[in-house]
Chain A
Amino acid sequence: MHITPLHYLVLSALLFTTGVVGVLLRRNIVVILMSIELILNAVNINLVVFSHEHRQVDGQAFALFVMAVAVAEAAVALGILIALFRNRGTVLADELDLLKW
């Protein structure tokens, strides 16, 4: 069958949903961060598909920037995680409830 851009978009939606479920479902912060990467990648797929469809490269440039930001964010987030681990001794999101009422 012909692969229409819709297929790619559905793929991206499913990847996005998986990433969201991962963020909500897992207690381990590292895995949560990995899920965030999945989300970002889903967005990237979307951007590239639309860029390809419109025969322009702007979407890809956008996706490049997304990637750059994702990388920076991952680095900083993991740095924070390490600092958190040093202070609290845990990497489980459930145990970090300092903002609780």
Chain B
Amino acid sequence: MLEAFLFYVFAILTLGGAILTVTRRSAVLSAVWLTVSLLGVAGIFLLQGAEFLFVSQIILYIGGITLLFLFVIMLVNLDAAANVRQFRRAWPLILLAGLGLAAELILLLSRGAMPRQAVPQSTSSVLSFNTEQIAGVLFSRYFAAFELASVLLLVAIVGSVWMGQERKSAALTAHERRTQS
């Protein structure tokens, strides 16, 4: 009972936030609703017993990604961008495609051999047992992936730092040319 209620709450948060993200004119609002949606996803994780992921979701996405998005939105001058048309001209076609995709997915899923009974909750009483399990798996079976992921993050950091630098070369960048002349 509680689970159903929580599920629907989180589902509405997730989907509502997602739809609002996609439909807002202002990018900042989109970022805000993204945060809401991600929060809803975190709740879903929690419902499914993935406590570690729930926390990671909050920390990483909401604390990191949305912040990042907001910074970048501030960096790129969006006054001019806010006045123009935000949606593509072919939006009916796109909505149609989206509807089709959703319909097909749902139909396929409903046809699938999914168990229709609820999955009983885990009866473990130890808090964060989930975290230990993940750690156990992460450092044993998926250790290579773990290391590679860290390398990936390092590369991403270095790359984005380097890319984000203002390079004052002899030739002006297009932006500087445009803003100075």
A residues sitting closer than 8 Å to B (CB atoms) are 1-11, 13-22, 24-28, 30-31, 33-35, 37-38, 41, 44-45, 48-49, 51-53, 55, 57-58, 60-61, 63-65, 67-76, 78-83, 85-92, 94
Contact = CB atoms under 8 A, between A and B. Distances in A.
Contacts of B21: 18, 22, 31, 34-35, 38
A5 B114 contact: yes
Interface of B: 3-4, 7, 11, 14-15, 18-19, 21-22, 27, 30-31, 34, 37-38, 41, 44-45, 48-50, 52-53, 56-57, 60-61, 64-65, 68-69, 72-73, 75-78, 81, 84-88, 91, 94-95, 97-98, 101-102, 105-106, 109-110, 114-119, 122, 130, 133-134, 136-138, 141-142, 145-146, 149, 152-153, 155-157, 159-161, 163-164, 173-176, 178
Contacts of A31: 21-22, 27, 30, 86
A73 B60 CA distance: 13
Given A21-B22, A86-B173, 12 more contacts: A1-B4, A3-B3, A3-B4, A5-B119, A16-B105, A20-B98, A24-B88, A24-B94, A35-B22, A51-B50, A67-B61, A85-B75
A69 to B, nearest CB: 7
Nearest to B16: A18
B118 to A, nearest CB: 5
Closest 7 CB pairs of A and B: A72-B156, A79-B160, A22-B22, A21-B98, A79-B163, A13-B105, A17-B102
Contacts of A13: 102, 105-106, 109
A3 B76 contact: no
A56 B106 CA distance: 25
B53 A63 contact: yes
A83 B163 contact: yes
Contacts of A24: 88, 94, 97-98
A75 B44 contact: no
Given A76-B160, A89-B175, A34 B106 contact: no
B86 A53 contact: no
B134 A57 contact: yes
A7 to B, nearest CB: 7
A97 B70 CA distance: 26
Contacts of A10: 106, 109
